[in-house]
Structure 1
Amino acid sequence: MPRRTPRNALDRLRTPRGFHGFLKGASVCALLAGLLSPLSPAMAAGTAPTSEKTTPATAGTISKAAANDHCGGQCSDILPPGQNGNATLAQILLNQAFGTQPAHAEDQLGPYAGLATGYSGLTNDKINTFFNDASFGVPDGQVASTVRPAGRGDVTIVRDKKTGVPHITGTTRYGTEFGAGYAAAQDRLWLMDLFRHVGRGQLTPFAGGAPANQGLEQQFWRSAPYTEAELAAQIESAAAKAGERGELALADVDAYVAGINAYIDASDKGRYFPGEYVLTGHKNAITNAGTIEHFKRTDLIALASVIGSLFGAGGGGEVTNAISLLAAQEKYGVAEGTKVWESFRQRNDPEAVLTQHAGSFPYLPKPGNPRGRALPDAGSVEAEPLVYDRAGSAAASSATGASATAADAAVTSARRGMSNALVVSGEHTESGHPVAVFGPQTGYFAPQLLMLQEIQGPGISARGASFAGLSMYVELGRGQDYAWSATTSGQDIIDTYAVELCQDDHHYLYRGTCTPMEKIERKNAWKPTVADSTAAGSYTMRVWRTKYGPVEYRATVGGKKVAYTTLRSSFMHEADSIIGFQMLNDPEYLNSPERFRSAVQNINYTFNWFYADSEHTAYYNSGDNPVRADGVDADFPVWARAAHEWRHWDPAANTAEYTPASAHPQSLDQDYYVSWNNKQARDYATAPWGNGSVHRGNLLDDRVRKLVADGGVTRAALVKAMAEAGLADLRAEDVLPDLLKVIGSAPVTDPAAEEAVDRLKAWHAAGALRTETSAGSRKYAHSDAIRTLDAWWPLLVKAEFEPGLGSDLYTAFTRNLPVDESPSAAHGPTGAHAGSAFQYGWWSYVDKDIRSVLGESVQGPLARAYCGDGDLAACRDTLLSTLKEAAGRTPAQVYPGDDNCPAGDQWCADSVIHRTLGGIKHGGISWQNRPTYQQVVEFTSHR
């Protein structure tokens, strides 16, 4: 089987070896033989120390939550691969050698995968075949263990037999949060430790110098290069602004951190800590020498900066926008080039699917007479170097620079989207109660970035998912009589400023004064580890910061030397959202959809929030949207001058005037809501390119709209709509019919082309789904048609648009928006085996262009016709020639194989593979395009 060198940090995480190449080949057996025998019984078995006061489950053991549960057994959830993300060294070695799994490490993966073939016959009573019961508490006879962490009498952690999810019940607030921290460390200590180092740009000293690790730490640290003092100040500042709730949040954080550290101490003493600490040289398996560093408040902010960068910070890209605009103007002239650029940008496309159906919510409209634009001189843009002083393996590695660049693209794409939501009001359901199916798509990792928990204590009553290391509250889940979830919204809270240089390259003009840039450095060195054979090396990461944010590019503007900086409203405010999450967990506070909206208004990251109880549904778009100066076009770099700054911007605190809550898309009891990272509302300009006539959100909207029109919607019906949309090929469902209409405008006489057309027609008629012939067959129905479209799409897009645009402009536009993101597209922004597909592509461009050639009505058309230069016969020739070429490509050519799959294996090329972040790896599952954590809820009553 062909093998390839992983291209970037996130790419390395996509391989089964993942992380940094854990335990290659023969070394597994040697380590197993050499290390297993000396392990203490506790470490080998993964058991808890006696100081935890563990009570084994016995017949008739009961753990009942004190909280009221108004779901009536109709709340379910799922989070693959499993709850347990920690593994001892022995468990890691056994997994690597024989594929065995620690308890609850993979037990949610099978039900999750099974929905792809089992959804069609789904009924309400079969939902928990594919999901877990998300009721509060643990039923009689289902208690696996009861732990009083660190011997405390004010909190218990009960785990159920089926999933091992912790149910934390405290009699004091401190004890409750202590238990939450302890449970988090039980399930995700290694992952939490990994990401607190990622957030500080210090992954390589912690885990080794593999290119994957170098690229990962470089990407995240560039966007949040904080000092320790700044990390500490952020949480104190967030608390100070929130009064009593802020004081409570600080106390919760301190208790949570204390719980984490109690587990570290207990696992160290009992020698059942995660085995990755041995493999990376932090602990000695035989002598137990070495330490696992305690956590502190600032670690949580470092973690939050990573999560916020990935999922909650829309915007940026102004420099690449400028480059493509200049290319368009070079091709067509200023006026026509600008028109062409705007038609591809689709800032406010009238055909875009909307989450908010009614009303207008203007945000960042294109100014009629833009002020302050600072477009670079052609060819002058250069990325700001991040890495200096390479030595040892860092100097020898040629992959690191490319790794960082590709990681940047991957993280940018993750920032743009993934999660989905389907919510139907009670007016249209069988029961008269709202129904919701929703969840975040945070990527498929092992262990998962999210973890499940139930927390019951003074002022807290919730079950759901939280990011590991930030689980003092449930972040997405359900309360006593309501549930909530979120999707990444991506509205623009990031701007690029052109700061004029003075004196030298590291001084700039700030409000007329020559001001030195601030130099922030990380000097990272590493040694070889058991898990990573990379030789010793070192390098320095350096970021130059200005009051307008970190420097990302250098260029000239009108001959003047400038640095392009990136300023986001959440910079220096990574902790501010803690108050909103605290409110979501508080049953005394959150008792209505109005209170829900007031809670999520305290979340400064860019998310769409959805709510359902037994009577109401609600939606709100969160984020600190800065008010721009009059005339500023936020799609392009602007001069760093007072006249173009955010209104009432305070550079010391990075605060500004933000758009009021009333200006954010929001509604109550809309007939239905769908979101798949599509456009929020009319006139609400979002950052991502591609919010046009064909978007992944259409796959949900078409199905849910039909369900609502028919009435009597059930939980099973809504799950089926989600599952079918998650198996649909967007190109085949929404664009292929018009492509075939052009081809069918005259008889097809070429036998090969005719056969390909017939196959595509049959596939579309059957639903345009990428589904197995039967469960476990590892072969798609209509596999030849699917292969043909996978090969055809990039060929037809290039042939359709490049002749008219020219190669320079075509290439520039593909940097703004990739052409394709099929499930098997390793070249796409999310990479191979990532699950999420059809978020980024030229679907709308092809759709609008082809409809224009056909003479059909197009709202918000492209500036000109491209296929065949607008001539139907010439367009048909283009489509037929590329289709014939695509149909002639072999499976091995379309699916060339990688570290996971042999060449030509279509099913495997699409398959979802959890990217290993530790020592345990899991098998692949059939592709489906759905959230990694998902809830199905229908409340039967209300407090």
Structure 2
Amino acid sequence: MRRRTSRTTLTRLRTPRGFAGFLTAVSVFVLTAGLLSPLPQSAAADPAAAATDHCQGQCADILPPGANGSATLAEILTHRVFGTQPSHADDQLGPYDALSSGYPSLTDDTLKNFYADASFGVPSDQVASVTRPRDDVAITRDKKYGIPHIEGTTRYGTEFGAGYAAGQDRMWLIDLFRHIGRGELTPFAGGAAANQGLEQEFWPQAPYTEADLQKQVDWLLNNSGERGKQAMADAQAYVDGLNAYRVAAKNGRYFPGEYVLTGKIDSVTNVGEIEPFKVTDMIALASVVGALFGTGGGGEVESALSLLEAQRKYGFEEGAKVWESFRGRDDPETVLTLHDGSSFPYGQKPAKPKGTALPDPGSVEKEQLVHDRTGSARTDARTTTSAVRTPSALKPLKGIFDDGVLPEDLFSGGASKKGMSNALLVSGKSTASGHPIAVFGPQTGYFAPQLLMMQELQGPGISARGVSFAGVGMYVQLGRGQDYSWSATSSHQDITDTYAVQLCEPGGRTPTKQSTSYLYHGVCTPMEKLEKTNAWKPSTADSTAAGSYRMQVFRTNYGIVTHRATIDGKPVAYTSLRSTYRHEADSVIGFQMFNDPSYVKDAKSFQQAAQHISYAFNWFYTDSRDTAYYMSGDNPVRAKDVDGSFPVKAEKAYEWQDFDPEHNTAAHTPPAEHPRSVDQDYYISWNNKQAKDFSAADFSQGAVHRGDLLDERVKKLVAKGGVTRATLTRAMAEAAVTDLRGEQVLPELLRILRSKPISDPAQAKAVDQLAAWLKAGAQRNQTSATSKTYAHADAIRVMDAWWPLLVEAEFKPGLGQDLWAALTAQLTVDESPSAGHGPTGGHAGSAFQYGWWGYVDKDLRTVLGDPVEGKLGRTFCGDGGLDACRDALLSALGRAVAKPASEVYPGDDRCSAGDQWCSDAIVQRAVGGITHRPIQWQNRPTYQQVVEFPSHR
């Protein structure tokens, strides 16, 4: 049971001011530790009654670090001094960590050692507490993990209970994220450079005014029928419950301690305010979640620049050919989720593109976002801020929370660069039981507390258990129903386009690149200027002086201005238009259906529910009879012959079909054109290509993809037959510790290096080590569960050092400096677990989504004379000569071998230089006052289910 600091104790604790103040507060706390008293609960009464549960004990899940994501000031201070953890703050971290070493001997019986029982309800002997915030709802928490099981006798009470439980587990996190969504993090959390960076990254993507947020609520009420009205009623009930907990926690003085540490509430007088939550806060939160995980496309300006550079290097036709080969819109060798030969054409290159708006070389400038810096804002590390997505490199609130807050592992690289989540599903035709099996979940990053929260909801029209994003949890978003389960992966289809609006000046004056009016259907129209002025007070907690700055973006009928340039000498602004912009909440209808047992009854009805999800996701479903897949998203219907990979002229002829700028609505592709399937022999997804002829929005879906790590293993299981929950979980877990470069590309590298004897002893030794590692499985796994030392550590070190060097040696001489720079800006060369320079940052878990492994593989097979479908536009390694290619690779290998471990793994604020295991290790990035130990790297979902339903309604 959670504990709180009594009123007497809190009157003796003052807000820490720097380290000395922190120690003083700790000393006071230690002297009064005996005054702790339990958080008030109603007497343990009847537990949440179990709804009909057809999983019969065969559903399991896990979500590190733990269900409890809230800590009082006393708990934070004792944690910092003694290392203690609040109850249920980290009790799922150990089982999650242990799978990386324990999977080889996994059986169905031992799954319980690595996953929690995901059955409905709480057995009477496992009830820890029952809280009744209203007469029509009970929140029952189990003893083992403290997960809230919410049962309501009315719809309102059920949703009220969901909001109340969210407050208990995540109130500080919810508060933090609603301020991020509104672009107001610095006034809330202080002026640290990374706080500024986060609001500068997210607000330009969805720069909503309060009126904009309210319009999205009204849109659902007025345009989504009875389900829309019910969704908004549910949202209000959820917010009411969250506010009820906010008031109770404030009055009872058991609110999260971060409010004291950031100066929001005085620990002595209790003076201060936790701002009431509103339904529009949920829209702001949804915009952050959608931007992180549910978008795709964008980057058309960067594509235009790399194409122009390729044409400058090779000439118009040859340059376009080379560029297209790197773009890889429809690589015939890439792994597919739908491998049954079905075709779903979308986003392909037109034979004769029309309306393409390429800039004049050298004319592109990023739009300035930040203005009028004062005080500590002048030292903001992001000196070239713009309204495009750029990495946030520092940690907010540093000084209060030593491990930092809101890390770059989730936010850097932009939302469209997030490759997350995986899924493995096998049809009952290939399982031992004859029932389908699924192992799947979202990979949402590692946080303390986690962005997701676990819950069970049982009430009128709602019956589900799983996870929801904190603050938007009136429905379970990923989880299970009575006789079915579902999950999702980010699908990355292209729902964001760039338009080139021609600039003008009122009265016919000559426009410049900085003009703030544009031609819309022939009329010079002023842009809408949106501003956000943020100021903060001095803080010793985050070592910032008082400061302020103003963010400014311009909004047009074609979206937000991101760049300015000229085309044929005429000034233009490039704008970004996302189909889900101004519709952040529309997807709530689909989630409502997922939770409704009267709606989802089979694979077909699940697919129909998924059609209501606007964001770009791959959805997977299983029950006792079927598996199914559906790709959701508001895929805009583009004008005929428009190429969505490049900027397009902002003219009526090239607009989305039926485009209405007032509400940002347009025609979307019908469900039949979305990749979909029922009962394929198996499905895998790791953000790979969905289906034949469906063009991805990015450059990463090539001949080698991390989806191959799943596909090859599951294919073998299916061929053998008799698949069980344990064997499918083992396939996932083995892929989770496998180095993609080692398994998929190292064989070709070794063939080339060993085409002649290697004379240099150091190089020969390294090649032998790499070959032995490959033979053992090319895994990054510990020698024992506690060793923190890799088997084949030297080979892994060589690969980590060699890969970026060999890619550069293979491609840069042929591409030249400028084209090399342009292409690597669009797709990073490497994303190994320790690659802190990659798009996910260090200690992130997720790895091997973005890299040049597919390019390297095609190029080397071409040099070797192997069959290659969809070759690169040119052969690069050694200009196609085997000996010259070998020399280049060996030279790079020699430089890699010479690099000491301290250089390959340079160390950071968590790891000593040269500590290979620690450099890879997953860190639960603190977004509050509680931190957790690092765990062994494993490339798997953050929340994960293992399910097999033996019966059906």
Give the structure-1-normalised TM-score.
0.95
Counterpart Cα distance in 2 of 1:671 and 1:162: 37
- SS for the counterpart of 1:886 is helix
Aligned to 1:405: 390
- SS for the counterpart of 1:247 is helix
Encode CA deviations 1:539-574: one digit per residue, 9 max, x unaligned.
011111001001011111111111110000000000
Counterpart Cα distance in 2 of 1:172 and 1:479: 19
CA separation of 1:903 and 1:156: change in aligned 2, threshold 3 A: same
Q: Which amino acid aligns with 1:566?
A: S
1:89 paired residue among 53, 70, 73: 73
Counterpart Cα distance in 1 of 2:741 and 2:73: 46
Counterpart Cα distance in 2 of 1:686 and 1:120: 35
1:31 paired residue among 25, 29, 32: 25
Q: How does 1:144-155 map to 2 (within 5 A)?
A: 144-149=128-133, 152-155=134-137
Residue 285 (structure 2) pairs with residue 285 (structure 1): no
Q: How does 1:674-689 map to 2 (within 5 A)?
A: 674-689=684-699
Q: Which amino acid aligns with 2:378?
A: A
- SS for the counterpart of 1:563 is strand
Q: Which amino acid aligns with 1:255?
A: A
2:329 paired residue among 338, 347, 370: 347
The offset of 1:22, in angstroms, is: 10
Residue 378 (structure 2) pairs with residue 387 (structure 1): no
CA separation of 1:621 and 1:74: change in aligned 2, threshold 3 A: same
Encode CA deviations 1:190-216: one digit per residue, 9 max, x unaligned.
000000000000000000000110000
Counterpart Cα distance in 1 of 2:728 and 2:222: 43
Counterpart Cα distance in 1 of 2:176 and 2:416: 19
Aligned to 1:473: 475
The offset of 1:28, in angstroms, is: 3.2
- SS for the counterpart of 2:124 is coil
Q: Which amino acid aligns with 2:496?
A: I
CA contact (8 A) 2:48 2:151 kept: no
The offset of 1:48, in angstroms, is: 2.9
CA contact (8 A) 1:35 1:285 kept: no
Q: How does 1:140-539 map to 2 (within 5 A)?
A: 140-149=124-133, 152-358=134-340, 359-399=342-382, 401=384, 405-407=390-392, 410-412=412-414, 415-503=417-505, 504=511, 505-529=515-539, 531-539=541-549
Counterpart Cα distance in 1 of 2:381 and 2:485: 48
Aligned to 2:826: 816
CA contact (8 A) 2:62 2:92 kept: yes
- SS for the counterpart of 2:125 is coil
Residue 31 (structure 2) pairs with residue 48 (structure 1): no
Q: Which moved more, 1:438-447 or 1:229-238?
A: 229-238
Counterpart Cα distance in 2 of 1:397 and 1:368: 47
CA contact (8 A) 1:167 1:454 kept: yes
Gaps of 5+ in 2: 1-14, 393-407, 506-510
Counterpart Cα distance in 2 of 1:938 and 1:22: 51
The offset of 1:746, in angstroms, is: 1.1
The offset of 1:530, in angstroms, is: 5.4
Aligned to 2:7: none
Q: Which moved more, 1:24-33 or 1:550-559?
A: 24-33
Aligned to 1:784: 794
Encode CA deviations 1:231-255: one digit per residue, 9 max, x unaligned.
0110221232221111111110111
Q: Which amino acid aligns with 1:711?
A: G
Counterpart Cα distance in 2 of 1:940 and 1:235: 40
CA contact (8 A) 1:281 1:530 kept: no
The offset of 1:401, in angstroms, is: 4.3
Counterpart Cα distance in 1 of 2:792 and 2:668: 51
CA contact (8 A) 1:525 1:539 kept: yes
Q: How does 1:514-913 map to 2 (within 5 A)?
A: 514-529=524-539, 531-913=541-923
Counterpart Cα distance in 1 of 2:329 and 2:412: 22
CA contact (8 A) 1:301 1:575 kept: yes
CA contact (8 A) 2:636 2:668 kept: yes
Counterpart Cα distance in 1 of 2:476 and 2:883: 58
CA contact (8 A) 2:48 2:149 kept: no
The offset of 1:23, in angstroms, is: 8.7
Aligned to 2:952: 942
The offset of 1:63, in angstroms, is: 2.3
Q: Which moved more, 1:311-320 or 1:92-101?
A: 92-101
Encode CA deviations 1:218-273: one digit per residue, 9 max, x unaligned.
11101000010110110221232221111111110111010000000100110000
CA contact (8 A) 2:126 2:144 kept: yes
Counterpart Cα distance in 2 of 1:531 and 1:156: 39
- SS for the counterpart of 1:514 is strand
Gaps of 5+ in 1: 1-20
Counterpart Cα distance in 2 of 1:23 and 1:734: 53
Counterpart Cα distance in 2 of 1:243 and 1:205: 38
- SS for the counterpart of 2:554 is strand
| RMSD, matched Cα | 1.6
Q: Which amino acid aligns with 2:545?
A: A
Counterpart Cα distance in 2 of 1:457 and 1:276: 33
Counterpart Cα distance in 2 of 1:440 and 1:239: 30
- SS for the counterpart of 1:405 is coil
Counterpart Cα distance in 2 of 1:268 and 1:36: 23
Aligned to 1:11: none
Encode CA deviations 1:749-776: one digit per residue, 9 max, x unaligned.
2211110010000000000000001011
Counterpart Cα distance in 2 of 1:853 and 1:344: 17
Counterpart Cα distance in 1 of 2:308 and 2:27: 63
Counterpart Cα distance in 1 of 2:434 and 2:32: 62
The offset of 1:825, in angstroms, is: 0.3
Q: Which amino acid aligns with 2:356?
A: R
CA contact (8 A) 2:729 2:946 kept: yes
CA contact (8 A) 1:364 1:634 kept: yes
CA contact (8 A) 2:370 2:385 kept: no
CA contact (8 A) 1:440 1:934 kept: yes
The offset of 1:418, in angstroms, is: 1.2
Counterpart Cα distance in 1 of 2:33 and 2:616: 47
Encode CA deviations 1:299-352: one digit per residue, 9 max, x unaligned.
000000000000001110001100100100000001000000000000000001
Aligned to 1:16: none
CA separation of 1:38 and 1:197: change in aligned 2, threshold 3 A: farther
The offset of 1:880, in angstroms, is: 1.1
CA contact (8 A) 1:416 1:688 kept: no
Q: Which amino acid aligns with 1:363?
A: Y
Encode CA deviations 1:67-99: one digit per residue, 9 max, x unaligned.
100001000000000011110011111112222
Residue 138 (structure 2) pairs with residue 128 (structure 1): no
- SS for the counterpart of 1:735 is helix
Q: Which moved more, 1:74-83 or 1:412-421?
A: 412-421
- SS for the counterpart of 2:433 is coil
CA contact (8 A) 2:417 2:839 kept: no
- SS for the counterpart of 1:693 is coil
- SS for the counterpart of 1:327 is helix
